[in-house]
Amino acid sequence: MSRIGYARVSTTGQDTATQVDRLKAEGCDIVRQEKASGASREGRTELDTILAFLRPGDELVVVRLDRLGRSTRDVLNLVHELDTKGAFLTVLEPHVTTKGQTGRIVLNVLGMVAEMELGFIKERQKAGIEKAKAEGVYKGRPVSLSHDRIKSLHARGVGATEIAKTVGCSRAAVYKVLRAPVAA
């Protein structure tokens, strides 16, 4: 029986060190970590590796439920996957385990709360953006390509593929710049 820790952060600007330290302090023999969105299982290769090697009696440990997933359905699917392997899940904050029925019920409720929290975050973000737009503060994502350079290269007869290579973007981005209306 192994205790396997899983640490995850969503963005490259975040760090898994605090989670890893906590998981090691809890006695995890192995700790896998990754930087990937928790919105779905896609692209979470470390979690996939853990699931592939779990054996009966093994325990997957996460610091918080949202580190495992943001969707109640995804979390429940993961718990089901663990069940089929004879393994179980332990969440440290708040302490919940799927070893017994009570833990499963609490886990369902926590999963729904995590999903609801994500919805609230998205609503607040959308409201903040709308307010900023109304105040003239929000201008959207800053332009990362030199439109003048793309147009200049195009005017000299350089093709879209070569322009894309030169400025470091996709051909679609080149075409988008070339199709954009001229600012007055």
How far, in Å, CA of 105 to CA of 113, rounded? 13
pLDDT at 138: 80
Name the residue type at position 157: G
Residue whose token pair is 């903040």:
128
More confident residue, 147 or 19: 19
pLDDT, tens only, 62-106: 999 888 877 777 888 888 899 889 999 999 998 888 887 777 777
- Torsion from C-alpha of 69, 71, 75, 78, nearest 10 degrees: -90
pLDDT at 110: 72
DSSP 3-state helix, strand, coil percentages of the chain (rounded to 5)? 50, 15, 35
More confident residue, 161 or 113: 161
Active site residue 10: yes
pLDDT at 40: 75
Question: Chain-wide mean pLDDT for the chain?
Answer: 86
* Strand positions, DSSP E, 88-181: 88-93, 96-97
Q: Which of these, 171, 169, 177, 148, lies nearest to 159 by C-alpha position? A: 171
More confident residue, 55 or 10: 55
Please pick, among 10, 146, 152, 170, the residue that the annotation labels catalytic. 10
With contact defined as beta carbons under 8 Å apart, do 162 and 147 qualify? Answer: no
With contact defined as beta carbons under 8 Å apart, do 166 and 153 qualify? Answer: yes
Structure-token pair, residue 53: 């090697």
pLDDT, tens only, 105-156: 777 777 777 778 778 888 998 898 888 888 888 877 777 788 889 999 999 9
Contacts of 12 (CB under 8 A, 6+ apart): 35
How far, in Å, CA of 103 to CA of 123, rounded? 30
Structure-token pair, residue 167: 């400025």
Q: Are strands 59-64 and 3-9 parallel, antiparallel or unpaired?
A: parallel
Structure-token pair, residue 149: 């350079």
pLDDT class of 183 with cuts at 50, 70, 90: low
Task: Tell me, yes or no, if the pTM score tops 0.75.
Answer: no
Q: Are strands 96-97 and 88-93 parallel, antiparallel or unpaired?
A: antiparallel
